Chains A and B, each alone.
Chain A
Amino acid sequence: MKTFRSALLAVVPAMFVAVFFVYPVATLLARGLGLDAGRLLEVITGSRFLKIIWFTTWQAALSTLLAGLFALPLTWALANRQFAGRRLARVLVTVPFVLPTVVVAGAFIALMDRFNLDEGAVRLRHTVWAILLAHAFFNVAVFARSVGGFWSQLDRRPEEAARTLGASPWRAFVEVTLPRLRPSLIAAVSVVFLFSFTSFAVILLLGGPRRSSIETEIYRYAVTRSDISTAAALSIVQMVAVVSLVVTNGWLQRRAVGRQGLVADRAVPAQTARQRGVLATTLTGTAVVLGLPLAVLVERSLASGGGYSFANYRALGERVRLLPISAADALVNSLAFAVVAAGIALVIGGMASLAIVHGTRSVSRLLDLGMLLPLGTSAVTLGFGVLISLDRGVLDLRGSWWIVPITQSLLAIPFVVRGVVPVLRAIDPGMREVAATLGASPGRVRREIDLRIGARALATGVGFAFAISLGEFGATSFVGRRSDLLTVPLAIQRLLATPGDLLRGQAMALSVILMVVTALVVFLSDRLHPTSGGML
Chain B
Amino acid sequence: MTLAIEAVTVRYGETIAVDQVTLTVATGEVLALVGPSGCGKSTLLRTIAGLVQPVSGQIVWQGRDITQVPTHQRGIGLMFQDHALFTHRSVADNIAFGLKMAGASTSRQHERTHELLEMVGLAGFGGRSVEGLSGGEAQRVALARALAPEPELLLLDEPLASLDRARRIELNAELARLLHELRQTSVYVTHDQDEAFSVADQVGVMHGGRLLRSGSPAEVWRDPQSELVARFVGHEAIIERDGQRFAVRPDAVALVPPGDRPADGSYAGTVTACAFQGDRYGLLIEVDGQQWRVFSADPSVVGSQVKLTLRPDMLSPLIG
* Chain A residues packing against B (C-beta within 8 Å): 2, 262-264, 428, 430-431, 433-442, 444-445, 448-449, 452-453, 531, 533
Q: Tell whether, in the assembled complex, residue B97 and residue A435 are in contact, meaning their CB atoms are under 8 Å apart.
A: yes
Residues 123-151 of chain B: 1 if any A CB is under 8 Å from the residue's CB, otherwise 0? 00000010100000000000001100101
List B74-88 residues whose CB lies under 8 Å from chain A.
74-80, 82, 84-88
Q: Give the residues in chain A near B46, CB-CB below 8 Å.
A: 433
Asked if B319 is at the interface of the complex by the 8 Å CB criterion, the answer is: no
- 8 Å CB contacts to A: which residues of B84-140? 84-89, 97-98, 101-102, 129, 131
Q: Which B residues lie within 8 Å of A264 (CB)?
A: 87-88, 129, 131
A436 to B84, CA, bound (A): 12
Q: List 16 A-B contacts (CB under 8 A).
A: A2-B70, A263-B131, A264-B88, A428-B82, A428-B84, A433-B71, A433-B84, A434-B146, A436-B49, A436-B51, A437-B78, A438-B98, A440-B97, A449-B86, A452-B89, A453-B87
A523 to chain B, nearest CB (A): 22
Whether the pair A441, B70 counts as a contact (CB closer than 8 A) is: yes
Contact A433/B51 with A264-B131, A453-B88 known, Cβ cut-off 8 Å: yes
Contact status of A434 and B88, CB under 8 A, knowing A441-B70, A444-B101, A448-B97 = no
B72 near A436 with CB under 8 A, answer yes
Contacts of B50 in A (CB 8 A): 436
CA distance A433 to B102 in the complex (A): 16
Q: Is the CB of A431 within 8 A of B71?
A: no
B70→A430 contact, CB < 8 A:
no
Contact with A along B220-256 (1 / 0, CB 8 A): 0000000000000000000000000000000000000
Assess the A439–B84 pair: CB atoms within 8 A.
no
Which residues in window 185-219 of B have CB below 8 A to A? none
Using A263-B131, A436-B51, A437-B72 as known contacts, say yes or no to A430 and B84 having CB atoms under 8 A apart.
yes
Give the shortest distance, in Å, between B139 (CB) and chain A (any CB). Answer: 13
| 4 smallest beta-carbon distances between A and B, as pairs | A430-B84, A438-B98, A439-B101, A436-B71
B72 touches A439 (CB 8 A): yes
Chain B residues close to A by CB (< 8 Å): 46, 49-51, 70-80, 82, 84-89, 97-98, 101-102, 129, 131, 145-146, 149, 151, 155
A431: chain B residues within 8 A (beta carbon): 84-87
In-complex Cβ contact of A430 among B75, B76, B82, B129 (8 A): B82
Q: Which residues of B contact A437 (CB under 8 A)?
A: 49, 71-72, 74, 76-78, 146, 151, 155
Q: Which residues of A contact B97 (CB under 8 A)?
A: 435, 438, 440, 448
Taking CB atoms, residues of chain B closer than 8 Å to A531 are 88
Query: Which residue from B51, B87, B88, B145 sits with its C-beta under 8 Å from A438?
Result: B145
B101 contacts A438, CB within 8 Å? yes
CA distance A441 to B51 in the complex (A): 12
Question: Of A2, A264, A436, A531, which is in contact with the most chain B CB atoms at under 10 Å from its CB?
Answer: A436
Whether B101 pairs with A440 at a CB distance below 8 angstroms is: yes
Once A264-B129, A436-B51 are accepted as A-B contacts, the answer to whether A444 and B84 lie under 8 Å apart by CB is no
Are A438 and B131 touching (Cβ within 8 A)?
no
| Distance (whole angstroms) from the CB of A314 to the closest CB of chain B | 47
Closest-CB distance, A427 to chain B (whole angstroms): 9
